[in-house]
């Protein structure tokens, strides 16, 4: 007995429509995208009953001829592509030829359309996928399409629709995304005869200001990245704008809104732990890439996308976000009542944004200059042991010459301020120093860890190891797992300054160590790095280079309890604020906090009024 049957067309069409049309928002998205693809300069969206009763989209685009208007409702009918090779050259939002067919299968559709050369337009009525009427009509150039009684012939699907408030929110989100991406189009949104949004053509900044407010716009951080194959631009939010719920993450690939977990992770990682796990930063990013290098034909919703080189995109987004973050000052502030509970395990919270400012300005009285010779100067520093870490007199003289070359009229001021700075060590753990508006408290271990991390990354990327040779090479016997891991990472170890060679089956000989590793601690530090590397590899989605740099920095940095001289503390501060991200260590702990004069005055009962 025959069991396999070919489904009737009306049943198959309803099943297929379920993939494309899931709720009123799906209809809105497809119709708005069609209007954009039609070259419209003005688009009006009108909905009733959150789209359940009717959805109408009016545009001034190219319009359709009488023949095209009818063909547009046939399955797999499209003007966007003609053969399989066109899938590698897609620049339009729509291309599958399923949207109008699916929408018409589960609703009552009325279409009025006219091209610029036509005297009369075309009026078509379709109900449940069946053509009811077609005639000529007077109408404006463009397309006016109305979708009524969505899912009238699929009661089960209609019953699954949510409340009007929920369905409206989905429609609003889609409208917002498209209007943020296509700022050259005049968008209007009307809900139940009430004007919701009216956006004339403008800049991206104006659109952001409209949706999120002027103060929000002022705190955003510009992102720029470009090479011969890829361009990334847009904005990311300051860390304190991160939220516990998603909803303000906008990623546009060739102006198409997409969702990609890998890119989202790259953005999160670019914040360098300035936000906590479970928080979601705001971002509005545009990626421009050759169409042949992406695949958007993954799902009918066209929200998912695949790249031919996912790692390349991930690295580019991560670098772009990290560089943008590095250009800003996100110093955490803390009130005295919180100070009692502070420990080195405290996570970074509630940073204060001070656009275009640097913490170094508060210490030196002016922005510090970054000069190319800095790395050569820092290369002569080593572990805080027997003053090796300190800048000696010759190096200080070199520094002064470099500074005076860059900015002669201010060099004396910088040198003088360096000499006059005051520092104290608290419990051999924290460094205290006055700043322009209060007091800065620095965790010495975390600060040194940030310095060593960036120095290790730079050494790995530039292949310029800073190594000190041992007078007596050390032979170390390792376990098989440790030996195998060390051999796997040998190239990176050498780039950060280790000079080692395998000896026998599981032993190694250390001929040289990084300048930041104290002699006599070679074996201890090496084993601790391997152990910590394994921990990071299990808990972090990151690369070998980053994991090793973090492990090295953590185990080589000065420890809480190490006594530092005044010169050592000043040198540590100098090196810290020469880093790209001086605010947090590689693991996310705050490097320093600030106590403001205002907070101290408040705690001592001082007021702005004249004291008696």
For residue 191, the number of C-alpha atoms closer than 13 Å in the C-beta half-sphere is 15
Number of domains in the chain: 4
Q: 168 and 315 share a domain?
A: no
Whether 181 and 41 map to the same domain: the answer is yes
Residue 453 lies in a domain: no
Of residues 334 and 470, more confidence is placed in 470
> Are 131 and 19 part of one and the same domain?
yes
d(CA 294, CA 252): 13
Same domain, 14 and 75: yes
Same domain, 313 and 233: yes
* Domain stops at, among 282, 307, 326: 326
Domain boundary among 173, 199, 225: 199
Residue 538, C-beta contacts closer than 8 angstroms, at least 6 positions apart = none
Burial of 85 (0-12, 13-18, 19+ CB in 10 A): exposed
> Do residues 442 and 497 share a domain?
no
Q: Which of 284, 299, 326 delimits the end of a domain?
A: 326
Q: Are residues 569 and 534 located together in one domain of the fold? A: no
Q: Which residue, among 434, 430, 431, has the nearest Cα to 365 in the 3D structure?
A: 434
Question: What residue numbers bound the domain in which 394 lies?
Answer: 336-447+562-603
Do residue 253 and residue 282 come from a single domain? Answer: yes
Residue 4 lies in a domain: no
- Whether residue 507 sits in one domain with residue 426: no
pLDDT of res. 204: 95
* Count of Cβ atoms closer than 10 Å to residue 575 Cβ: 23
- What's the CATH code of the domain at 291? 3.30.230.10
| Reported confidence tier of residue 436, pLDDT bands at 50, 70, 90 | confident
Structure confidence by residue, pLDDT tens digits, 471-508: 889 898 888 888 888 998 888 888 888 999 999 888 99
Question: Based on the domain organization, do 487 and 599 belong to the same domain?
Answer: no
Does residue 143 share a domain with residue 129? yes
pLDDT (mean) for 152-161: 87
Does residue 417 belong to any structural domain of this protein?
yes
- Residue 459: inside a domain: no
State the average pLDDT for the chain. Answer: 79
Q: What is the mean pLDDT of residues 358-378?
A: 42
- On the question of pLDDT at 529 being above 60, the answer is yes
**Domain-located, residue 461:** no
Do 267 and 355 lie in a common domain?
no
Instruction: Find the CATH number of the domain harbouring 108.
Output: 3.30.565.10
Averaged pLDDT for residues 238-247: 81
């Amino acid at each position: 007995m025959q069991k396999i049957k070919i489904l009737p067309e009306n049943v198959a069409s309803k099943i297929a429509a379920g993939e494309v049309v899931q709720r009123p928002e799906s209809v809105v998205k497809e119709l708005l995208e069609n209007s954009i693809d039609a070259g419209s300069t003005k688009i009006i969206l009108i909905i009733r009953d959150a789209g359940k009763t009717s959805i109408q989209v009016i545009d001034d685009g190219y319009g359709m001829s009488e023949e095209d208007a009818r063909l547009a409702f046939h399955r797999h009918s499209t003007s966007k592509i003609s053969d399989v090779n066109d899938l590698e050259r897609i620049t339009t939002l729509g291309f599958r030829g399923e949207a109008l067919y699916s929408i018409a299968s589960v609703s009552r559709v009325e279409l009025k359309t006219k091209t610029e050369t036509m005297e009369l337009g075309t009026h078509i009525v379709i109900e449940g996928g069946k053509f009811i009427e077609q005639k000529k009509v007077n109408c404006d150039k463009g397309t006016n399409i109305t979708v009524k009684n969505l899912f009238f012939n699929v009661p089960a699907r209609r019953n699954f629709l949510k409340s009007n408030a929920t369905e409206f929110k989905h429609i609003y989100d889609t409208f917002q995304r498209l209007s943020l991406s296509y700022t050259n189009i005049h968008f209007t949104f009307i809900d139940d005869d009430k004007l919701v949004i009216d956006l004339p053509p403008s800049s991206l900044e104006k659109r952001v200001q409209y949706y999120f407010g002027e103060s929000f716009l002022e705190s955003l951080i510009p992102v720029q990245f470009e090479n011969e194959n890829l361009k990334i631009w847009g904005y990311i939010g300051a860390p304190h704008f991160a939220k516990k719920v998603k909803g303000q993450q906008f990623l546009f690939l060739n102006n198409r809104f997409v969702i990609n977990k890998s890119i989202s992770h790259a953005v999160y990682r670019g914040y360098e732990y300035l936000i906590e796990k479970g928080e979601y930063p705001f971002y509005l990013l545009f990626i421009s890439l050759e169409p042949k290098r992406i695949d958007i034909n993954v799902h009918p919703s066209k929200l998912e996308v695949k790249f031919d080189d996912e790692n390349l995109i991930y690295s580019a987004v991560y670098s772009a976000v990290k560089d943008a973050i590095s250009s800003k000052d996100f110093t955490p502030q803390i009130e005295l009542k919180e100070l009692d509970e502070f420990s080195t395990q405290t996570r970074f919270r509630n940073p204060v944004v001070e656009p275009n400012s640097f913490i170094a300005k508060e210490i030196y009285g002016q922005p510090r200059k970054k000069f190319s010779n800095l790395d050569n100067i820092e290369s002569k520093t080593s572990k805080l042991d027997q003053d090796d870490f300190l800048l000696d007199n010759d190096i200080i003289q070199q520094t002064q010459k470099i500074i005076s070359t860059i900015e002669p009229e201010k060099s004396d001021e910088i040198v003088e301020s360096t000499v006059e700075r005051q520092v104290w060590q608290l419990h051999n753990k924290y460094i205290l120093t006055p700043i322009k508006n209060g007091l800065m408290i620095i965790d010495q271990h975390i600060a040194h860890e940030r310095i060593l991390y960036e120095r290790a990354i730079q050494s790995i990327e530039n292949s310029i190891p800073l190594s000190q040779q041992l007078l007596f090479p050390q032979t170390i016997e390792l376990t098989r797992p440790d030996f195998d891991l060390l051999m796997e990472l040998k190239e990176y170890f050498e780039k950060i300054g280790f000079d080692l060679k395998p000896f026998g089956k599981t032993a190694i000989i250390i001929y040289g160590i990084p300048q930041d590793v104290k002699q006599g601690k070679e074996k201890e530090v090496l084993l601790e790095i391997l152990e910590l590397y394994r921990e990071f590899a299990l808990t972090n989605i990151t690369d070998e280079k980053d994991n090793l740099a973090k492990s090295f920095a953590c185990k080589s940095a000065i420890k809480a309890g190490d006594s530092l001289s005044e010169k050592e503390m000043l040198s540590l501060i100098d090196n810290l604020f020469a880093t790209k991200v001086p605010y947090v260590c590689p693991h996310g702990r705050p490097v320093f906090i600030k106590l403001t004069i205002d907070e101290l005055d408040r705690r001592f009962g001082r007021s702005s009024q004249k004291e008696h």
